[in-house]
């Protein structure tokens, strides 16, 4: 499959997750992503993961997950020679991606103004916790900090357990996705006009944007979001329900779906119960309705109810573990997992997941395994040409 971003070169200077995840999305759709790393240490994620031997080899599981499809070159930004090497790469690049604290690249003499003098039309994407301006711009930020500040934690959990952290780095991931989207959009404009761009991606703003409904409910209607556990604040019955075996998510958001739920579980009289006649009625009496539905669901397993409810047009699905979902026929048929053999320092295969879409029926996949630190030093530097002296 021809990649959507074939011919686009990205210099990925990022560490850990938000930036590397952004670069990984670009690599999946064909960009030549060159991971520019500090000599000897590289991306901190190389030393993160549950397997000590991989961490010591600088091939930690956290690194493997976000860096397939990339090449690696070591450059010391603090040395004059390293800066010159980097500028030679910039002269041939389309995108520079970094996630340092605001101002770091400028203090190194490698900020956007300098780089666009070397490469007119350059797209420079800076991902940070709070953006390049504002009173918090210099604060260090990891995912959990942004989860707390964004309001995500305040509505995660039950009234008794909230605030809780979402179980994976959701704000890092959102920042990476927003960065990839912004880069793709900037590339489209550059193709039309030749104009580059400075993209200022804030993880906090990405999280707030993704909190569309809770934020809108407050801004428009003055309703402050609150933690509701596995309940859906927009409808009932909609949430996770106990069955005879396992939890089952049911999303009966329409009147006809609620009637179908009542029929399938053998309680048709609930559809005409005055407490549950309308959507608003069911929201008011959601916990009474839950008890009655779970009494009926106790007669069979989540897997059985999932089949029966979906057949009746009611969205329903088991609550699965990560190993269980990876073993699902749906996931396997669409080739979500990508395997690489003969990865240095690793016995057996390395498996990563691709992006969440197909292109013309085909799955965009990383075309090469995650690189060892500096694996492509000679190759990448040999490809580079020195920038014009006048641009320095």
Architecture of the CATH domain 9-210+333-391:
3-Layer(aba) Sandwich (3.40)
Alpha helices of the chain — where are they, by DSSP H?
A: 18-28, 52-56, 61-66, 80-90, 104-107, 112-118, 143-150, 170-193, 203-210, 212-221, 255-264, 279-284, 286-297, 302-311, 322-326, 329-333, 377-383
- Asked if 178 and 201 count as a contact pair (C-beta separation under 8 A), the reply is yes
For residue 195, the 8-state DSSP code is: -
* pTM tops 0.95, yes or no: no
Q: Which fold has domain 238-242+247-318?
A: formyl-coa transferase, domain 3 (3.30.1540)
Whole-number Å distance between alpha carbons of 96 and 115? 9
pLDDT in tens, the chain (392 residues): 569 999 999 999 999 999 999 999 999 999 999 999 999 999 999 999 999 999 999 999 999 999 999 999 999 999 999 999 999 999 999 999 999 999 999 999 999 999 999 999 999 999 999 999 999 999 999 999 999 999 999 999 999 999 999 999 999 999 999 999 999 999 999 999 999 999 999 999 999 999 999 999 999 999 999 999 999 988 999 999 999 999 999 999 999 999 999 999 999 999 999 999 999 999 999 999 999 999 999 999 999 999 999 999 999 999 999 999 999 999 999 999 999 998 998 988 999 999 999 999 999 999 999 999 999 999 999 988 765 543 43
Helix, strand, coil shares of the chain, percent, nearest 5, are: 45, 15, 45
- The CA distance from 89 to 379, in Å, is 12
Report the distance separating Cα 341 and Cα 343, nearest Å.
Answer: 6
User: For the chain, what are the domain ranges?
Assistant: 9-210+333-391, 238-242+247-318
Query: In the sheet that 247-251 helps form, which strands lie side by side, from edge to edge?
Result: 238-242, 247-251, 316-318
CB-based burial, 346-373: b 16+ in 10 Å, e otherwise: beeebebebbeeeeeeebbbbeebbbbb
Pick from 141, 115, 116, 114: which is nearest to 130 by CA?
141
Residues tagged active-site: 172
Return left, alpha or beta for 52; rule: phi > 0 is left, psi -120 to 50 is alpha, else beta.
Answer: alpha
């Amino acid at each position: 499959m021809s990649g959507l971003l074939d011919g686009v070169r990205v210099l990925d200077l990022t560490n850990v997750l938000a930036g590397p995840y952004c670069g990984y999305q670009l690599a999946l759709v064909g960009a030549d992503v060159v991971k520019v790393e500090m000599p000897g240490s590289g991306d901190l994620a190389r030393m993160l993961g549950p397997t000590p031997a991989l961490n010591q080899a600088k091939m930690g599981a956290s690194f493997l997950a976000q860096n397939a499809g990339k090449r690696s070159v070591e450059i010391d930004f603090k040395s004059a020679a390293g800066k010159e090497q980097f500028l030679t790469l910039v002269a041939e690049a389309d995108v520079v991606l970094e996630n340092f604290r605001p101002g770091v690249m400028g203090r190194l003499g490698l900020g956007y103004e300098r780089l666009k003098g070397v490469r007119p039309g350059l797209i420079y994407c800076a991902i940070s916790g709070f953006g390049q301006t504002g009173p918090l711009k210099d604060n260090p930020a990891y995912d959990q900090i942004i989860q707390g500040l964004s309001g995500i934690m305040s509505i995660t959990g039950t009234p008794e357990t909230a605030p809780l952290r979402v179980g994976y780095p959701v704000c890092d991931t959102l920042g990476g996705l927003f960065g990839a989207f912004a880069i793709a959009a900037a590339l489209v404009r550059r193709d039309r006009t030749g104009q580059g761009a400075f993209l200022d991606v804030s993880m906090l703003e990405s999280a707030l944007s993704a909190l569309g409904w809770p934020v809108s409910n407050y801004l428009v209607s003055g309703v402050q979001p609150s933690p509701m556990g596995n309940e859906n604040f927009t409808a009932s019955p909609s949430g996770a329900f106990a069955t005879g075996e396992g939890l089952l998510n049911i999303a009966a958001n329409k009147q006809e779906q609620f009637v179908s739920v009542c029929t399938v579980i053998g309680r048709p009289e609930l559809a005409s119960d005055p407490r549950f006649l309308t959507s608003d009625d069911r929201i008011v009496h959601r916990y009474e309705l839950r008890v009655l539905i779970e009494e009926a669901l106790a007669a069979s397993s989540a897997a059985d109810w999932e089949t029966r409810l979906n057949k009746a047009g009611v969205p329903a699905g088991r609550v699965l573990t990560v190993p269980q979902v990876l073993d699902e026929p749906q996931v396997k048929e669409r080739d979500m997992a990508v395997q690489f053999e003969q990865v240095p320092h690793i016995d057996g295969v390395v498996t990563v997941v691709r992006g969440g879409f197909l292109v013309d029926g085909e799955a965009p996949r990383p075309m090469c395994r995650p690189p060892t630190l500096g694996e492509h030093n000679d190759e990448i530097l040999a490809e580079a040409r020195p920038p014009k002296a006048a641009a320095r």
